[in-house]
């Protein structure tokens, strides 16, 4: 394996002043900025919560059992993602493909659930322009859903790379960075599930 | 294979956990989520609902960040890049809530 590593130098092998991988550091800085982005959306939601005179109100439309299942699905996708990373780091191509596909499918399940939920809300009379709750809720959860969609596209791209044999152990960092993004999307949902759904 | 990872690991980084540990964390996360939902439905928990849910949510958040995002095992600088904006964001949320009369 050491020989293989020498003959195929990792793209992240260039020296840096910190000794740390610059791509990984850049991505952590990006996730830091994403914290601020979602923080602004969450604070906007919290500020305007309970200030609507016209409905629908959160307790009239939010479906806790359904969203709990969605939260569980996203948590399990974090498990499959980290198993995909472990597989690629150990040169297990079959495991990499299986776990990447499982993560993408779980992400698609979450998105499907969100589409169902949004459609349900629409027929219950909750739209983006209905009231402050509708506006802040759809913007917050919509941006999160968009992030999940981007993650699903990213995961299928990695899956296709694995299928074509272009995801060797030397490129494990590609999967690790995608994993960081995916786990971040998961932790944002942990916050949204508590602050929006459970604390009404 | 593990020799390869040992040789390419950055300074200040430790070995990542294995599949068993990841499964264990997933079980804990599932149990905490179940407790959160249960607490929501128990009328007797109403007065303590907000602090209990916030603590449980923070524990879930920390477990994912430490074990799945490997902050516990990677270089400290990565933790700082994530934790400092998190603290800043929390202070902004608290400040805005106070400013708009929620406390």
Q: Where are the domains of chain B?
A: 17-69
Provide the domain limits for residue A95.
20-198
- The domain total for chain A is 1
Task: Please answer yes or no on whether A199 and B93 come within 8 Å at the CB atom.
Answer: no
* Each residue's pLDDT tens digit, A173-195: 999 999 999 999 999 999 999 99
Instruction: List chain B residues with CB under 8 Å of A191.
Output: 57, 61
- Write out chain B residues lying below 8 Å of A89, CB-based: 1, 5, 16
Residue A57 falls within a domain, yes or no?
yes
Q: What is the mean pLDDT of chain B?
A: 88
- pLDDT over threshold 60, residue A29: yes
- Is A139 within the bounds of a domain? yes
Q: Which of A119, A117, A113 is nearest to A70 (CA)?
A: A113
Task: Please tell me the pTM assigned to this model.
Answer: 0.90
- pLDDT mean over A120-134: 94
Number of H helices, E strands in chain A: 7, 0
ipTM of the complex: 0.88
Let me know if A53 is exposed, middle or buried by CB neighbors in 10 A (0-12, 13-18, 19+): exposed
Residue A141 placed within a domain:
yes
**What is the pLDDT, as a whole number, of residue B13?**
72
Compute the distance between CA of residue A46 and CA of residue A50 in angstroms, rounded to an integer.
9
Residue A191 within a domain: yes
State the DSSP code for B56: H
Q: What is the mean pLDDT of chain A?
A: 92
Dihedral Cα B95, B97, B102, B103, nearest 10 deg: -20
Q: Is A5 part of a structural domain of the chain?
A: no
Distance from C-alpha of B86 to C-alpha of A36, rounded to nearest angstrom:
7
Among A68, A75, A195, select the one facing B29 at the smallest CB separation. Answer: A75
pLDDT of residue A101: 98
User: Worst-scoring range by mean pLDDT, A56-60, A67-71, A101-105, A174-178?
Assistant: A56-60
Would you call A1 an interface residue with chain B, using a CB distance cutoff of 8 Å? yes
Range A86-90 average pLDDT: 95
CA distance B64 to A148: 17
Domain contains A2: no
CA–CA distance, A54 with A127 (Å, rounded to integer): 12
Lowest mean pLDDT among A14-18, A38-42, A150-154, B10-14: B10-14
Residue A30 sits in a domain whose CATH number is: 1.20.120.80
pLDDT (tens, 9 = 90+) of chain B, 103 residues, equals 344 444 456 666 778 888 999 999 999 999 999 999 999 999 998 889 999 999 999 999 999 999 999 999 999 999 999 999 999 999 999 999 999 987 7
């Amino acid at each position: 394996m050491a020989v293989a590593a020498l003959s195929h130098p990792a793209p992240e092998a260039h020296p840096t002043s910190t000794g740390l991988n610059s791509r990984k550091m850049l991505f952590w800085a990006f996730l830091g900025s994403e914290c601020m982005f979602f923080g602004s959306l969450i604070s906007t939601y919290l500020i305007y919560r309970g200030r609507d005179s016209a409905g629908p109100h959160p307790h009239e439309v939010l479906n806790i059992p359904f969203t709990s299942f969605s939260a569980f699905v996203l948590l399990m996708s974090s498990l499959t993602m980290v198993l995909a990373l472990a597989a690629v780091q150990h040169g297990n191509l079959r495991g990499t493909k299986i776990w990447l596909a499982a993560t993408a499918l779980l992400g698609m399940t979450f998105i499907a659930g969100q589409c169902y939920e949004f459609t349900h809300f629409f027929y219950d009379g909750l739209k983006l322009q209905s009231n402050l709750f509708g506006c802040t809720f759809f913007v917050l959860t919509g941006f999160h859903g968009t992030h999940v969609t981007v993650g699903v596209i990213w995961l299928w791209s990695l899956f296709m790379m694995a299928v074509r044999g272009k995801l060797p152990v030397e490129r494990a960092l590609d999967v690790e960075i995608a994993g960081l993004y995916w786990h971040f999307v998961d932790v944002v949902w942990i916050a949204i599930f508590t602050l929006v759904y459970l604390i009404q | 294979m593990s020799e390869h990872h040992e040789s390419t690991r950055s300074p200040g980084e430790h070995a990542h956990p294995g599949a068993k540990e990841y499964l264990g964390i997933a079980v804990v996360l599932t149990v905490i989520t179940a407790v959160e939902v249960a607490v929501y439905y128990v009328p007797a928990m109403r007065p303590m609902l907000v602090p209990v849910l916030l603590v449980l949510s923070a524990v879930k958040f920390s477990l994912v960040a430490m074990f799945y995002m490997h902050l516990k095992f990677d270089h400290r600088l990565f933790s700082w890049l994530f934790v400092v904006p998190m603290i800043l964001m929390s202070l902004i949320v608290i400040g805005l809530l106070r400013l708009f009369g929620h406390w």
